[in-house]
Amino acid sequence: MNRLLAYPYLLAFIAGAIAVLGFAPHGLFPLPPLALAMLFWLWSRAERPRRAAALGFSFGMGLFTFGVGWIYIALHEYGYMHPVLAGVATLLFAALISLFAALAGYLQARCRAACRSGFNPTAPSLAEARPVPGSVLLLLIMPAFWVLVEWLRGLMFTGFPWLVFGYAQVPYSPLAGYAPLLGVYGVSLSVAASAGLLLFGLQACRRAAGKMALGGLCVLWLIGGALQQVEWTQPQGESFKVSLLQGNIAQDLKFEEHALVETLETYRRLAESSAARLIVLPETAVPLLRDNVPQNYQIMLGEHARRNGGDILVGSFEREAGRYYNSVYSLGSAGSQHYRKNHLVPFGEFIPLRGWLGWLINELLQIPMGDLASGGAGQPPLAVAGQKIAVNICYEDAFGEEIIRALPAATLLINVTNDAWYGDSNAAIQHNQLSQMRALESGRMML
């Protein structure tokens, strides 16, 4: 044990990297609570807040370097950034979001110091103060601050809630049963509480309190499993057929003018081969402004949808009053409606602090349609194919608090996305795991 403690930052880094295996596609859902238990153990031995912060940062670097390293693919292969710069940018991004894990470490340590010193802000180091009971530390303080910073990470700087530990529990973990009641952060709290219960139970296994902690861990997971058996919502209306089309257009060809005719023909052929009442094309499947899409092409798609007694949803771009939008619009029986993406990707769809960073980003990256406008919050569901459909585009389904705005009116959720930006990495299947959580939270199908 002492030899392990000689390398605490390496241990924290390895624990963070191991936690990645809990997420899709690996699905080893017990690993995140085990990894978090390791971090809590290291935090409990950190003598000063800055040391606890450094341990949290190391854990975050392991988690995000291996968990979202696919950002490199988008920057280099499709954004044409120099490979060295893309690698540095990827590591800097991992470091930036690792600061939230560092913040959790710092806050829990300061809280412990305050408890030990009677909330005296000039208290000495943690090692010199009276101890906080292990049950309070592991079952309340550490889990609470971990989930707090996960929530902050999904909120600040437009938000990046990827690899929130609650997502690793869907769809198979018993803890996923808490999702309809508590949402992803409630599930994440159950993960953090599991880590605390396990660690305290092992540390105090010979005492009654330790045995109670291990028993509480079992109860927490058993209740979650029981909640998974509950049908929280009921189907509405009759079943109907849906076709989700994928033309498999290479990302490096998608916005090339010479490939446009083939792209349009591919999706026309796929659409006309479907007899589904609702046909859905991917995000920006038609890589043109809607005004520039040939009128006869849109007429053909609309007429086919009407013959099927339904509608087709087309991913494209729209322009209005000099502003450009990433949009999904409908053609067919219900008349044309549209949804315009609200939550844009920083540096991919808009440039934050454009006055300061715009020139630099334009030099480093070459991303088509990289300066879009937001469609705004509160857009109504699309009333198509006999349903009220809450459409979300790309990583908008990572933000549950935004998806829920369409409820209870929406009867169906649809996410259109283009994860080809990230090649054959884990990005797409991690994204699918986020969609699974939204379906559990809302009690709606997510297509």
Other C-beta atoms closer than 10 Å to the C-beta of 305 total 26
Active site residue 211: no
Q: Is residue 233 part of a domain?
A: no
pLDDT of residue 82: 85
Q: What number is the average pLDDT over the span 142-171?
A: 94
pLDDT of residue 373: 84
Considering the domain architecture, whether residues 267 and 374 belong to the same structural domain is answered as: yes
Domain with residue 304: its CATH number is: 3.60.110.10
User: Residue 343: pLDDT above 90?
Assistant: no
Other C-beta atoms closer than 10 Å to the C-beta of 288 total 16
**Whole-number Å distance between alpha carbons of 235 and 444:** 9
Q: What number is the average pLDDT over the span 406-432?
A: 90
Q: Which of 411, 381, 446, 444 is nearest to 232 (CA)?
A: 444
Q: Is residue 112 part of a domain?
A: yes
Q: Is residue 158 part of a domain?
A: yes
Express as a percent the part of the chain with pLDDT over 90: 65
Q: Per-residue pLDDT tens for 43-95?
A: 998 889 999 999 999 999 999 999 999 989 988 887 778 899 989 989 999 99
How many distinct structural domains can be found in the chain? Answer: 2
Catalytic residue among 111, 150, 283, 318: 283
- Nearby residues of 215 by Cβ (< 8 Å), 6 or more positions away: none
Q: What number is the average pLDDT over the span 415-434?
A: 90
Q: What number is the average pLDDT over the span 271-285?
A: 94
Per-residue DSSP letters for 109-135? HHHHHHHHTTS-TT---GGGSPPPPHH
User: Residue 122: pLDDT above 60?
Assistant: no
pLDDT of residue 369: 56
**Whole-number Å distance between alpha carbons of 100 and 149:** 6
When pLDDT is cut at 50, 70 and 90, the band that residue 116 belongs to is low
Residue 377: phi and psi, rounded to 5, are -80, 160
Considering the domain architecture, whether residues 136 and 163 belong to the same structural domain is answered as: yes
Q: Per-residue pLDDT tens for 13-39?
A: 999 999 999 999 999 999 999 999 999
pLDDT of residue 364: 54
Q: What number is the average pLDDT over the span 330-354?
A: 80
Express as a percent the part of the chain with pLDDT over 70: 89
- Find which of 54-58, 90-94, 117-121, 332-336 is predicted with most confidence, using mean pLDDT: 54-58
Among 164, 194, 227, the domain-final residue is 227
| More confident position, 355 or 265 | 265
User: Residue 436: pLDDT above 80?
Assistant: yes
Q: What number is the average pLDDT over the span 353-372?
A: 56
Considering the domain architecture, whether residues 342 and 389 belong to the same structural domain is answered as: yes
Considering the domain architecture, whether residues 223 and 247 belong to the same structural domain is answered as: no
Catalytic residue among 111, 341, 396, 402: 341
Q: Is residue 447 part of a domain?
A: no
pLDDT of residue 105: 96
**Whole-number Å distance between alpha carbons of 83 and 111:** 42
Considering the domain architecture, whether residues 215 and 278 belong to the same structural domain is answered as: no
Considering the domain architecture, whether residues 309 and 172 belong to the same structural domain is answered as: no
71-75, 105-109, 252-256, 289-293: which has the minimum mean pLDDT?
A: 252-256
| More confident position, 386 or 174 | 174
State the virtual CA torsion across 76, 81, 87, 91 in degrees, nearest 10.
-110
pLDDT of residue 397: 93
Catalytic residue among 394, 396, 402, 441: 394
Considering the domain architecture, whether residues 306 and 335 belong to the same structural domain is answered as: yes
Considering the domain architecture, whether residues 281 and 380 belong to the same structural domain is answered as: yes
Considering the domain architecture, whether residues 296 and 435 belong to the same structural domain is answered as: yes
Q: What number is the average pLDDT over the span 195-215?
A: 90
Beta-sheet strands, E only, within 164-238: none
Active site residue 283: yes
User: Residue 362: pLDDT above 60?
Assistant: no
| More confident position, 12 or 117 | 12
Q: Is residue 234 part of a domain?
A: no
- Nearby residues of 218 by Cβ (< 8 Å), 6 or more positions away: none
106-110, 117-121, 156-160, 201-205: which has the minimum mean pLDDT?
A: 117-121
Among 174, 195, 227, the domain-final residue is 227
- Nearby residues of 398 by Cβ (< 8 Å), 6 or more positions away: 154, 159, 161, 162, 431, 434
3-class SS of residue 195: helix
| More confident position, 348 or 240 | 240
Among 202, 227, 252, the domain-final residue is 227
Considering the domain architecture, whether residues 178 and 45 belong to the same structural domain is answered as: yes
Q: Is residue 237 part of a domain?
A: no
Considering the domain architecture, whether residues 209 and 292 belong to the same structural domain is answered as: no
Which domain range does residue 155 map to? 2-227
Active site residue 254: no
Q: Is residue 232 part of a domain?
A: no
pLDDT of residue 250: 82
3-class SS of residue 178: helix
When pLDDT is cut at 50, 70 and 90, the band that residue 224 belongs to is very high
**Whole-number Å distance between alpha carbons of 146 and 149:** 6
When pLDDT is cut at 50, 70 and 90, the band that residue 360 belongs to is low
State the virtual CA torsion across 214, 217, 219, 223 in degrees, nearest 10.
-170
